[in-house]
Chain A
Amino acid sequence: MHIACYKGTDKIAGSEKHDEDPIYSVEYQDVIALFNKDLRKGLAALYEQYGRALYGFSVTHFHINEEEGYDVLYQTLETVGKVINRYEFTSEKHFANWLFKIHKNNIFQLLRTKKSREPGEPDFTFGDWEAEMKEDADAAVSLEPFKNLINHLSNINPYEDNLVQNHLMGAMEKALQTLPDTERDLLLLRMNDYSYDEIADMLGIENNQLKVKFLRAKAKVEKKTLAILKETYNETAG
């Protein structure tokens, strides 16, 4: 994997080429070795090799601002910096996956904290729900049977940890499990704001009407989620 030398005070030691040719190959083992020799250089290498992409990913896909992106990246690099010398990895991919997972967890932690505190979550009308369902042209699903439920749930903050939110998340989990793997992956990756081309690449499929497939999968999960929730609340009322 090639990275650009970080110009300025954080040039990475150990490379045969410095100022003239800034591009050279650094493996994850070199990053770890640098941490042992020189913490600052190790951090610089970690940032260059992985941190830039992690920052770009969090800001682009999760629509967080520069300050939030900074905080999340800091948290990730801090966690990694604290433990990087204690662990072994089987491959570059192993290291990258581990690092990426830590970062994603930190992004979600930020979102949970931020959104659970935000007042005035979007106040959706029943019409908004119907409009969303109608995006799937094939969906002959009427949401009328769920109108009371939707109105009841419309003011909840889905990020706030409480009984209603737990029911919602549980219902959604069950609904997602009814989808075939590829449809579920398509849905969840699209919710992570990957493009259809990127999703096709990741899933090893053709980008053939993926948007239509996404809308159908979403409609299926929505209908199933609402059905499970309605059953839950009917059982509770009964």
Chain B
Amino acid sequence: MKQQDNIQPFETWMRAYLATNSQTNAAGIDKESELVFSKHFDATLPAEKAQTLLSTLEKHLTEPTLGSLVHTAMARAGKSAAQVQNATGLPPSLLEDIREDVAFPNSIPVRSLVKMMHLLQITLDDALAAINTTYERLRDETRMMQAVPAEIRPVFRRNTPSHVNDPESIRFISDAGYLYKNRKALDKFTARLCELYEEML
């Protein structure tokens, strides 16, 4: 027997269909979002929980990424991009990708990354944490772009390096399996990073 009187069998299937087929045309989203954002809902988060939400978000979003770590370290060490490129062998576009957090960390040649860490005096712990943050951001960003219809996807902002603004260079991945492999690949990459960090001291 059904557990709740107001649930109907075919509607249960339909609701499951909606939850598993979330691609909707842009025109449908247009009307829905207009209605939702203009509507008053009785259900609201208690003020205290809203504060917790904002505080937790703030803490999480201020965790350093690899890009921000490299930015800060370059400024602290007084090193220019050219100096970092010469010392590490990183091509200019890749260094830019790293600083802009558009490169999956395990796409960076590991030896070059270790050289950069030593040059800029970035500790292994800081680098590992930042690498993980960047990986998760790019993973979530990729998923977001895949899940949003093309008509409502945003574009990269204008002052992004030109090669980065080319969708082909963003390294957005169409195959979800690759994301899984990328996490495994990332773990292997960070393991190798740890080995080399010690070896190259």
A and B form one complex: yes
Interface residues of A, Cβ cutoff 8 Å to B: 1, 8-10, 39-40, 43-44, 47, 50-57, 59-60, 66, 69-70, 73-74, 77-79, 81-83, 85-89, 93-102, 104-105, 108, 111-112, 115, 120-125, 128-129, 132-133, 154, 158-159, 161, 165, 168-169, 172-173, 185, 187-189, 191-192, 194, 198, 201-203, 218, 221-222, 225
Partner of B42, one of A56, A125, A159, A189: A56
**Structural contact, B3 and A122, CB atoms closer than 8 A:** yes
Size class of B's contact patch?
35 or more
Q: Which residues of B contact A132 (CB under 8 A)?
A: 8-11
B58 contacts chain A at the CB level, 8 A cutoff: yes
B19 contacts chain A at the CB level, 8 A cutoff: yes
A2 CB to closest chain B CB, in angstroms? 11
Interface residues of B, Cβ cutoff 8 Å to A: 1-4, 7-22, 24, 26, 28-37, 39-45, 47, 49-51, 53-54, 56-58, 60-62, 137, 140-141, 144, 147-149, 152-158, 160
Q: Which residues of B contact A185 (CB under 8 A)?
A: 28
A207 CB to closest chain B CB, in angstroms? 14
**Structural contact, A44 and B144, CB atoms closer than 8 A:** no
**Most A Cβ at <10 Å: residue of B7, B16, B56, B62:** B16
**Most A Cβ at <10 Å: residue of B17, B51, B157:** B17
Decide if the interface of chain B is mainly helix, strand, loop or mixed: helix
Nearest neighbor of B154 in chain A, beta-carbon distance: A87
Q: Which residues of A contact B42 (CB under 8 A)?
A: 56, 60
Q: A53-B36, A98-B153 are in contact. Are A74 and B53 (CB under 8 A)?
A: yes
**Structural contact, A66 and B45, CB atoms closer than 8 A:** yes
16 pairs from A and B in contact (CB 8 Å cutoff): A40-B58, A47-B50, A55-B43, A55-B45, A66-B49, A74-B56, A74-B57, A79-B144, A81-B61, A98-B148, A108-B19, A108-B20, A122-B9, A125-B1, A159-B20, A191-B15
Q: Which residues of A contact B16 (CB under 8 A)?
A: 115, 158-159, 165, 169
